């Protein structure tokens, strides 16, 4: 995907605050958990060693604020889960209560972290770490009865199932929201009748293409297109015939232009086309192809035609004067009899 892609930007908006909040919660919760355990319970592990995992957790918090690319979220989350599990193990080791005292902490971690795993591989890795890294070491090193082992397995299975349900819901919800956003963005960017860019989207994208042409010192041309006698068509045959004619014009413009050309509906029956890399001769040839293609159309039993004004960028550094020159050339084409291409001076 291009960087930053729309998908990554959407993930940053949704997941960024969640990931950073969970990292802060992991750091603060671990300190509270460790210090509270030191005040209320005896442990065979020194307090400084039990506090040590708080340092990498704090580093992960800092990284979560510095590296805000969604591709880093999975690695940050897995690292946080691993350090939490290791820290919980240190707090549970050499305690009279053993595994049971640590069981709530082991259950909370996979459930709390489940919203941030968008990749199945990350979720599986987090589940393995949560279920095995800390608890398994504690089971192996600390004597535990069958009842403790059963409780661990029972609660951990419940925790992982709940985490999987929450994770699946989160992933599906984000996907649905992104799809709705894309549909709304498409409606805002594409003219529904003609299928070409709306005026606002065309002007935005055209300014970017103009900037690229200036930076690369490459030619760029603009076509201003207007349907001939469109008002007569509307008055004589109704707006349905006019809409059909505009829809057909939009289709012809899309089909007869290159993939990197930009076409937009400026207003009413007027269209603008940006032709990156084309000089005057090539732009005129492209305009003639469009004019001839439209002449093959018929609407309400009558042939259609268009007039086109062509302007090639000279020293313009903004889009408005270039469009104005193309518009003036279009006016000249109208005065010259319509159904023709006119070059700007």
Catalytic annotation, residues? 269
Q: Which residues contact 126 (CB under 8 A, 6 or more apart)?
A: 77, 78, 81, 110, 113, 117
Calpha distance 344→311 (Å, rounded):
5
Cα(253)–Cα(299) distance, rounded to whole angstroms? 16
**CA triple 330-333-338, angle to 5 deg:** 120
Pairs from 232-239 (Cβ < 8 Å, separation ≥ 24)? 233/299, 233/300, 233/302, 236/300, 237/299, 237/300
**Kind of pairing, strands 341-343 and 306-312?**
parallel
Contacts of 327 (CB under 8 A, 6+ apart): 224, 309
Please answer whether residues 250 and 194 qualify as being in contact, where contact means their C-beta atoms are separated by less than 8 angstroms: yes
DSSP 341: E
3-state secondary structure of 274: strand
Cβ neighbour number for residue 239 with a 10 Å cutoff: 10
Whether the Cβ atoms of residue 275 and residue 332 lie closer than 8 Å to each other:
no
In sequence order, what E strands does the chain have? 220-227, 262-267, 270-276, 298-299, 302-303, 306-312, 341-343
């Amino acid at each position: 995907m291009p960087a930053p892609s729309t998908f990554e930007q959407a993930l940053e908006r949704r997941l960024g605050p969640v990931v950073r909040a969970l990292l802060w919660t992991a750091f603060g919760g671990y300190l509270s958990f460790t210090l509270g355990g030191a005040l209320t319970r005896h442990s065979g592990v020194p307090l400084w060693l039990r506090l040590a995992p708080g340092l990498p957790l704090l580093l992960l918090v800092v990284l979560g604020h510095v590296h805000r690319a969604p591709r880093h979220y999975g690695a940050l989350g897995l690292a946080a889960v691993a350090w939490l599990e290791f820290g919980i193990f240190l707090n549970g080791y050499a305690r009279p209560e053993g595994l049971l005292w640590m069981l709530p902490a082991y259950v909370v971690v996979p459930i709390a972290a489940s919203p941030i795993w968008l990749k199945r591989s990350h979720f599986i890795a987090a589940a393995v770490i949560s279920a095995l890294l800390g608890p398994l070491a504690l089971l192996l090193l600390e004597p535990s009865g069958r009842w403790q082992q059963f409780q661990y397995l029972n609660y951990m299975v419940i925790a992982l199932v709940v985490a999987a349900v929450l994770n699946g819901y989160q992933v599906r919800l984000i996907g649905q929201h992104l799809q709705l956003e894309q549909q709304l963005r498409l409606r805002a960017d594409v003219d529904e009748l003609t299928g070409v860019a709306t005026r606002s989207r065309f002007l935005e994208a055209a300014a970017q293409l103009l900037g690229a042409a200036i930076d690369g010192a490459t030619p760029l041309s603009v076509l201003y297109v207007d349907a001939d006698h469109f008002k007569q068509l509307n008055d004589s045959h109704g707006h349905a015939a006019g809409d059909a004619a505009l829809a057909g014009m939009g289709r012809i413009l899309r089909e007869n232009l290159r993939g990197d050309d930009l076409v937009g509906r400026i207003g009413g029956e007027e269209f603008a086309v940006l032709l990156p890399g084309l000089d005057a001769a090539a732009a005129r040839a492209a305009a003639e192809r469009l004019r001839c293609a439209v002449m093959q159309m018929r609407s309400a039993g009558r042939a259609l035609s268009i007039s086109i004004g062509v302007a090639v960028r000279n020293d313009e550094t903004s889009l408005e004067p270039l469009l104005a020159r193309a518009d003036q050339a279009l006016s000249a084409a109208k005065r010259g009899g319509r159904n023709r291409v006119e070059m700007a001076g």
